[in-house]
């Protein structure tokens, strides 16, 4: 079960012509897909489009009614390859993932798709995870569009524009026989707004028809000589066709043209609201978007339309290009257009605006101001826009961490303890919740090479050595590619290292989506495929499965793996269900039981403040959110004491750590018996009676 359920929201996907749709960006995209008569949808979860996958999963009923095929793909490569259905058949297909990481994974299929070309509209909805809140390295999707000749939409971030972009995206794709990427920035994915709905359309050409009347065209096979012809087709037919479509259908927009001005601003559609706010703050636009400065808004950032650039720049002293990210592809192209057309307008971009980093409101306003002052449209400012605020010193950073009760915590605590005993270890980390092992308090793992690539990232550490290298992998990453890229590779190359596969039962970090090894019964899917079977299947002989909460066993098995005489890959499957999902499943049941007056035992941990001496070793080994500190009740002591707050779920790690690390005897576990039986009460009364005598 995904972290967030959209079962209520998806009903708005049924809205008909003229009705007003209210909701989140990703939900609007789904509605737009249905309105465009999409035939099949796929994708792989990852912020900021995780919820798009959740929406589609929750909407599978509605999709079924329309005859739309939905797959939760095994990886972005799988999703991209799905679009093959649009190569030979006039079927519209859409896939989604997190960019640029997902686009990297999908690149092989994308290149071939782009080369072959499509006849059915192929749309790739990308969550551009760039800037604040991003969880990945900072790169641009733009480069992929350029290298493969796929078109890139970056619409203005409001629901009507996004919905329109989806519909136009399909048309553009069909008009130019090329796949189209629709890029949505983080905030656009989560923006809440409204648009006027249209009726949903069933696919004009169905997958059944395709299977009944199979087609193939030799020209679409990715083999010479076709590939050479395909490259020429890209340049001679598809690209011009795309430019023509963009120009004729006016996909890019102009604002404030009727105000005579010798400066203008060119911007990516996705930055429109930020730029308008900046102009408003500089009193050069009103709140409704009436701009005194001419604006050229690129809702399509690739391909660019040279004529539109030259026309916009002509007669102006200078234009400012507001292009987020690096390198400055648009600025470079624009310079070429103007130079070739011999238009002498100055092009300004990176300079007043930074080359790297997110274009936040503050950055954009500063950049525009600098540009407009330089070209005389604004007086040289005598005062800063804002008086410098009195800053709060050393506000500590608040990195993400493992949740309260997370089963991965005891695993990393065990590894940290083992490192104390056996010395520091070479650990190759992976993507997933377990990536947090690289953060304090655990500080385990030196590199993260990509999703499912933990074991691969440790591949080279395979030389005879008494100390073995460790690598991490999550169950999500394992099924995504780790089974082959990591485990199979280790078997084939006789890797002597240790790989820990963290099996929490879900693709947890992306919001708890189901995967092959999830233990649940899922409608229309086959889960419950055991990781151990798969690992043995590719030839691993040394496999151990541990329960992470049992730290004693965990440490023993880790030690065995590091010291055993056995040469070859050693796989440890560390089991422990994601606490978030478990709670979501069990909490209602427990609540019900308590309500019915049934006996329920609730466990939680506590600390005797007068035994704790405030050294906090326990925290350095656990980092649990519910294990915190409070001012020492003992006025003679100065150090704050450790303290377990009310969010404790009694997972047991505190006790395990206290024993495993021989910490202090401060910890106690309280078993709270709710609705005790008569017997419970009798025993309790007896005990308290005697104990009060003893005390």
Q: What is d(CA 278, CA 368) in angstroms, rounded to the nearest whole number?
A: 8
The answer to whether the CB of 321 falls within 8 A of the CB of 330 is yes
CB nearer to another protein: pick between 295 and 540 = 295
Check residue 259 for interaction with another protein (CB under 8 A): no
Can you tell me the distance from the alpha carbon of 310 to that of 525, in angstroms, rounded to the nearest whole number?
Answer: 54
Residue 253 CB, nearest approach to another protein (Å): 13
Please select the residue that binds another protein; options are 223, 383, 395, 678, rule is CB under 8 A. 395
Nearer to another protein, 381 or 440 (CB): 440
Per CB under 8 A, 288 contacts another protein: yes
Using CB under 8 A as the binding rule, whether residue 48 contacts another protein is answered as yes
Rounded to whole angstroms, the Cα distance separating 621 from 664 reads 13
CB closer to another protein out of 110 and 624: 624
Residues 426-465 that bind another protein (CB under 8 A): 433, 436, 439-441
Residues 137, 257, 522, 672: which binds another protein (CB under 8 A)? 672
Which residues have C-beta within 8 Å of that of residue 281, sequence separation ≥ 6?
365, 385
**What part of residues 459-518 is at the interface with another protein (CB under 8 A)?**
509
In the list 75, 325, 633, 651, the residue contacting another protein (rule: CB under 8 A) is 633
Shortest CB 619 distance to another protein, Å: 5
Say whether the peptide bond before residue 170 is cis (omega within 30 degrees of 0): no
Binders of another protein among 113-132, rule CB under 8 A?
129, 132
| Region 232-251 residues binding another protein, contact defined as CB under 8 A | none
**At closest approach, how far in Å is the CB of 437 from another protein?**
13
The mark string for 130-169 relative to another protein (x by CB under 8 A, - otherwise) is --xxxx---------------------x------------
In the complex with another protein, the residue whose CB is nearer, 304 or 365, is: 365
Do the bridges between strand 93-99 and strand 600-607 make them parallel or antiparallel, or are there none, so unpaired?
unpaired
| Contact between 383 and another protein per CB under 8 A | no
Query: Could you tell me the smallest distance in angstroms from the CB atom of residue 39 to another protein?
Result: 31
Q: Is 398 in the site for another protein (CB under 8 A)?
A: yes
Contact between 569 and 540 (Cβ < 8 Å): yes
Specify the residue, 589 or 672, whose C-beta has the smaller distance to another protein: 672
Q: Which is nearer to another protein, 187 or 316 (CB)?
A: 187
Q: How many CA atoms lie within 13 A of 680 on its CB side?
A: 11
Among 229, 257, 314, 674, binds another protein (CB under 8 A): 674
**Least distance from C-beta 671 to another protein, angstroms?**
4
- By CB under 8 A, tell whether 521 contacts another protein: no
Return the SS3 of 548.
coil
Q: Mark the segment that binds another protein (CB under 8 A) among 70-78, 86-94, 540-548, 664-672.
A: 664-672
Q: What is the CA radius of gyration of the chain?
A: 29
Q: Using the minimum distance from each CB to another protein, give the nearer residue, 543 or 629.
A: 629
- List the beta bridge partners of residue 180: 123, 151
Q: Note whether 190 binds another protein by CB under 8 A.
A: yes
* Region at 469 (left for phi over 0; alpha for psi -120 to 50; beta for the rest): beta
Q: Taking contact as CB under 8 A, which single stretch among the options 147-155, 314-322, 541-549, 666-674 is the one that binds another protein?
A: 666-674
d(CA 21, CA 14): 10
Find the shortest distance in angstroms from Cβ 169 to another protein. 21
Q: Based on CB atoms, which residue is closest to another protein, 67 or 441?
A: 441
Dihedral sign from CA coordinates of 530, 531, 532, 535 = positive
Give the range of 37-45, 208-216, 256-264, 274-282 binding another protein by CB under 8 A: 274-282
User: Is 389 among the residues that bind another protein (CB under 8 A)?
Assistant: yes
Strand 627-630 and strand 641-644: the pairing is antiparallel
Using the contact rule CB under 8 A, the part of the chain among 469-477, 516-524, 568-576, 620-628 near another protein is 620-628
CB of 430 to another protein, least distance (A): 14
Nearest alpha carbon to residue 348 among 331, 364, 329, 360: 331
Q: Are 598 and 658 in contact (CB under 8 A)?
A: no
Token duo for residue 139: 């790169």
Least distance in angstroms from the C-beta of 280 to another protein? 8
550 binds another protein (CB under 8 A): no
Give the x/- contact pattern for another protein in 318-357, rule: CB under 8 A: ----------------------------------------
Task: Using the CB atoms, write b or e for 320-336: b if 16+ within 10 Å.
Answer: bbbbbbeebbbbebbee
Please say which residue, 204 or 673, places its beta carbon nearer to another protein. 673
- Least distance to another protein, CB of residue 641, Å: 11
Using CB under 8 A, which of 396, 423, 464, 524 touches another protein? 396
| Stretch of 58-66, 183-191, 345-353, 481-489 contacting another protein, by CB under 8 A | 183-191
Among residues 56, 437, 632, 653, the one that binds another protein under rule CB under 8 A: 632
Q: How many CB atoms lie within 10 A of CB 636?
A: 5
Alpha helices (H) in 350-468, listed in sequence order: 361-374, 408-422, 454-457
Q: Verify binding: residue 20, another protein, rule CB under 8 A.
A: no
Alpha helices in 423-574 (DSSP H): 454-457, 475-477, 489-492, 531-537, 551-563
Dist. CA 334–CA 356, nearest whole Å: 19
Sequence-separated (6 or more) residues with CB below 8 Å from residue 123 = 33, 38, 92, 93, 94, 95, 166, 169, 170, 173, 179, 180, 181, 182
- Helical residues (DSSP H) of 423-550, grouped into ranges: 454-457, 475-477, 489-492, 531-537
Query: Taking CB under 8 A as the rule, does residue 191 contact another protein?
Result: yes
Give the residue among 101, 42, 48 at the shortest CA–CA distance from 72: 42
For another protein, which stretch binds (CB under 8 A), given 26-34, 107-115, 478-486, 611-619?
611-619
Residue 277 within binding range of another protein, rule CB under 8 A = yes
Is residue 32 close enough to count as binding another protein by CB under 8 A?
A: no
Pick one of 100, 112, 177, 274: the residue that binds another protein (CB under 8 A). Answer: 274
Handedness of CA 117, 242, 98, 583 (dihedral sign): negative
Count, residues near another protein per rule CB under 8 A: 113
Dmax (CA) for the chain in angstroms is 101
- Asked whether position 19 contacts another protein by CB under 8 A, the answer is no
CB count within 10 Å of CB 652 equals: 16
Identify residues 638-657 at the interface with another protein (CB under 8 A): 638-640, 646, 654-655
Task: Work out whether 588 is an interface residue with another protein (CB under 8 A).
Answer: no
Q: Which two tokens stand for residue 164?
A: 């329109």
Rounded distance between C-alpha atoms, residue 535 and residue 556, angstroms: 21
Residue 157, helix vs strand vs coil: coil
Nearer to another protein (CB atom), residue 494 or residue 681: 681
């Amino acid at each position: 079960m995904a972290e967030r359920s959209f079962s209520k929201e998806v009903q708005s996907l049924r809205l008909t012509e003229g009705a007003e749709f209210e909701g989140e960006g990703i939900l609007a995209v789904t509605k737009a897909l249905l309105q465009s008569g999409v035939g099949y949808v796929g994708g792989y979860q990852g912020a900021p489009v995780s919820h798009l996958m959740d929406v589609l999963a929750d909407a599978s009923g509605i999709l079924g009614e329309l005859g739309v095929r939905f797959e939760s793909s095994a990886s972005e490569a799988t999703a991209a390859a799905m679009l093959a259905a649009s190569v030979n058949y006039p079927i519209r297909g859409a896939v989604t993932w997190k960019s640029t990481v997902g686009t990297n994974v999908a690149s092989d299929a994308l290149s071939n798709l782009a080369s072959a070309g499509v006849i059915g509209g192929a749309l790739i909805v990308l969550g551009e995870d760039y800037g604040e809140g991003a969880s990945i390295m900072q790169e641009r999707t733009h480069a992929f569009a350029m290298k493969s000749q796929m078109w890139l939409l970056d619409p203005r971030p409001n629901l009507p524009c996004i919905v329109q972009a989806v519909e136009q995206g399909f048309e553009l794709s069909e008009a130019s026989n090329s796949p189209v990427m629709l890029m949505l920035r983080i905030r656009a994915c989560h923006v809440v707004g409204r648009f006027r709905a249209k009726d949903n359309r069933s696919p004009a050409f169905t997958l059944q028809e395709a299977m009944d009347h199979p087609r193939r065209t030799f020209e679409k096979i990715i083999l010479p000589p076709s590939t050479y012809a395909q490259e020429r087709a890209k340049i001679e037919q598809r690209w011009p066709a795309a430019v023509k479509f963009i120009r004729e259908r006016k996909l890019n927009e102009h604002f404030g043209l009727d105000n005579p001005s010798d400066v203008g601003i060119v911007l990516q559609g996705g930055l429109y609201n930020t730029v308008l706010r900046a102009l408003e703050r500089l009193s050069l636009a009103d709140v409704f978007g009436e701009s005194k400065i001419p604006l050229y808004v690129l809702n399509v950032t690739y391909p660019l339309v040279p004529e539109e650039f030259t026309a916009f720049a002509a007669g102006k002293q200078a234009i400012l290009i507001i292009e987020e990210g690096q390198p400055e592809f648009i600025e470079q192209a624009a310079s070429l257009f103007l130079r070739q057309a011999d238009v002498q307008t100055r092009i300004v971009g990176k300079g007043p605006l930074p080359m790297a980093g997110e274009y936040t409101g503050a950055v954009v306003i500063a950049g525009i101001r600098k540009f407009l002052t330089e070209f005389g449209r604004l007086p040289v400012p005598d005062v800063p826009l804002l008086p410098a605020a009195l800053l709060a010193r050393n506000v500590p950073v608040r990195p993400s961490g493992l949740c309260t009760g997370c089963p991965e915590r005891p695993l990393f605590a065990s590894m940290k303890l083992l490192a104390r005993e056996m010395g520091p270890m070479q650990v190759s980390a992976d993507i997933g919740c377990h990536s947090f092992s690289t953060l304090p308090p655990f500080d385990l793992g030196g590199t993260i090479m990509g999703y499912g690539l933990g074991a691969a990232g440790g591949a080279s550490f395979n030389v005879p050595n008494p100390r073995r290298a460790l690598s991490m992998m999550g169950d999500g990453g394992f099924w995504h590619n780790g089974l082959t890229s990591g485990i199979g590779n280790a078997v084939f190359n006789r890797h002597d290292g240790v790989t820990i596969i963290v099996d929490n039962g879900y693709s947890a970090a992306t919001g708890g989506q189901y995967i092959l090894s999830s233990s649940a019964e899922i409608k229309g899917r086959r889960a419950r495929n055991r990781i151990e079977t798969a690992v043995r299947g590719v030839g691993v002989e040394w496999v151990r499965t541990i329960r992470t909460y049992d730290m004693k066993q965990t440490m023993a098995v880790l030690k065995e793996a590091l010291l055993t005489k056995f040469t070859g890959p050693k796989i440890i499957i560390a089991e422990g269900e994601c606490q978030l999902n478990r709670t979501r499943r069990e909490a209602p049941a427990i609540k019900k039981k308590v309500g019915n007056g049934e006996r329920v035992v609730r466990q939680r941990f506590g600390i005797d403040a007068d035994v704790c001496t405030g050294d906090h070793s326990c925290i350095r080994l656990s980092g649990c959110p519910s294990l915190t500190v409070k001012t020492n009740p003992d006025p003679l002591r100065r150090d704050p004491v450790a303290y377990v707050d009310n969010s404790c779920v009694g997972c047991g790690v505190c006790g395990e750590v206290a024993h495993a690390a021989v910490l202090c005897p401060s910890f106690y576990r309280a078993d709270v018996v709710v609705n005790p039986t008569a017997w419970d009460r009798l025993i309790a009364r007896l005990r308290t009676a005697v104990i009060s005598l003893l005390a």
